[in-house]
Amino acid sequence: MIVVAGPGSVGGFVGAMLAANGERVAFVGRGEDPPFPDGLSAVAMGRPPVRVEVFEDPEHLVEADLVIVAVKSKDTAAAARRIAETAPADARVVNLQNGVTNGDVLRAHLGDRVCEGMFGFNLVRTRAGEIVQMTDGEIVLDQRAADTAQQLRGAGLQVRTHSNMKGILWAKLLMNLNNPLNALSGKALKQELSDRRWRRVFATCMREGIAVSHAEGIVLERVAKLPSRLIPPILSLPNSLFLRIASSLVNIDPEARSSMADDYTLGRPSEVNWLNGHVVKRAKALGLIAPMNEKVTAAVMDAFAMSPRPPLSFDPEHFLSGG
Ligand SMILES: NC(=O)C1=CN([C@@H]2O[C@H](COP(=O)(O)OP(=O)(O)OC[C@H]3O[C@@H](n4cnc5c(N)ncnc54)[C@H](OP(=O)(O)O)[C@@H]3O)[C@@H](O)[C@H]2O)C=CC1
Ligand SMILES: CC(C)(CO)C(=O)C(=O)O
């Protein structure tokens, strides 16, 4: 039995794809509202929708051979405790969260059976309750989870395994440094990334993140069509050149937004402290500076603290001007 801890966009999508391929899948949430009250359907890019029956019951954890963790970062410790209490001690745990520290939290509760994963594409939950893949992309799993990779491939997902998951997760973190910019801009990803001023803010966040990753001794792996070190100079190019050289970076559904933009709209907390905030924290610890990530983190904290939350339309000049 495969148990998905975190029946949201990522968990629901992966769980639905696996169930549609004949795997036994159950979902474990916080136990409050049913996660998919109107049923669960997922739409992988270029494929017909799949609709599956949902089993939601924490008791299923007792039968788990595999637990896929897809909660938001703030909920990792609670999910880990539940898994440690209920799942068999030899059940594999695969972590699909963003950020580079959630795996450590899981390992503190669950030991070395935790395998890291990188979930490299964007999903939205439509009003009709479907979870739809909005950007092309792959999943990368720790090479120890080769059989899980095989199950996911069988379900029609693009998956590879890797031995240097730290390098994969840090490279993904660098891409996620745009999540708050996308939320603050109030625009879809494609529109935001078509504005050179937002790309320059993103490029600066990435440069700071790359410096931190080097000081951490991380060997960055490739998670996009381009290696991380080439992305900031390319992001900084004028539009005409950028669109010619890096069309793949904006080859995304015109409606796609980052998961942090969705969190803002849905009134949820942000993961900024695990993304840009983590770069700031590690920069300080390593004697470096990360002023752009610091400014972005502060803006997100202020924006998410507003109640009610108005639509956002930050001006990128707010970040580019010296003040
Ligand atoms: N959405 C996307 O496109 C992408 C997301 N990611 C990353 O994947 C991770 C999951 O994101 P996403 O799917 O968007 O998040 P969602 O908020 O859609 O889903 C998280 C789910 O976890 C549930 N949950 C909360 N606490 C617990 C708990 N203790 N045990 C079990 N379930 C719990 C939540 O319930 P409730 O709502 O009741 O709190 C919710 O159903 C994040 O780290 C995100 O950054 C990575 C790539 C793309
Ligand atoms: C796929 C990507 C990078 C899209 O921004 C993401 O990880 C997210 O939305 O959290």
The bound ligand whose nearest atom lies closest to the alpha carbon of 271 is 1
Nearest CA to ligand 1 atom 16: 8
Angle between helices 165-176 and 196-215 (to 10 degrees): 150
Choosing from 179, 206, 255 the residue with most ligand 2 atoms within 8 A of its CB, the one to mutate for a pocket test is 179
Average pLDDT in the 144-166 region?
98
The 10s digit of each residue's pLDDT in 265-280 is: 999 999 999 999 999 9
Cβ–ligand 1 contact at 98 (below 6 Å) = yes
CA–CA dist 155, 173 (Å, integer) = 26
Query: How would residue 252 be classed by pLDDT, with cut points 50, 70 and 90?
Result: confident
Instruction: Quote the ligand 2 centre to 270 CA distance (angstroms).
Output: 13
Instruction: Quote the ligand 1 centre to 110 CA distance (angstroms).
Output: 19
Cβ–ligand 2 contact at 175 (below 6 Å) = yes
Question: Which pLDDT score is estimated for 82?
Answer: 96
CA distances from 316 to 62, 199, 230 (A): 49, 9, 22
Amino acid at 85: E
Average pLDDT in the 105-120 region?
98
**Ligand 2 atom closest to 120 (CA):** 1
The 10s digit of each residue's pLDDT in 37-96 is: 888 999 999 999 999 988 877 788 999 999 999 999 999 999 999 999 999 999 999 999
Residues 6 or more apart whose CB falls under 8 angstroms from that of 46 comprise none
Question: Which pLDDT score is estimated for 323?
Answer: 57
Cβ–ligand 1 contact at 142 (below 6 Å) = no
Average pLDDT in the 155-184 region?
98
- Residue 130 is classified by DSSP as E
Q: What percent of the chain has pLDDT over 90?
A: 86
Q: What percent of the chain has pLDDT over 70?
A: 100
Residues 6 or more apart whose CB falls under 8 angstroms from that of 117 comprise 94, 95, 96, 139, 140, 141, 142, 145, 165
Query: How would residue 239 be classed by pLDDT, with cut points 50, 70 and 90?
Result: very high
Choosing from 95, 177, 259 the residue with most ligand 1 atoms within 8 A of its CB, the one to mutate for a pocket test is 259
Cβ–Cβ contacts within 10 Å for residue 33, how many? Answer: 8
186 has pLDDT over 70: yes
For the chain, domains (ranges, CATH) are 2-163 (3.40.50.720), 168-320 (1.10.1040.10)
> ipTM, 2 decimals?
0.98
Cβ–ligand 1 contact at 266 (below 6 Å) = no
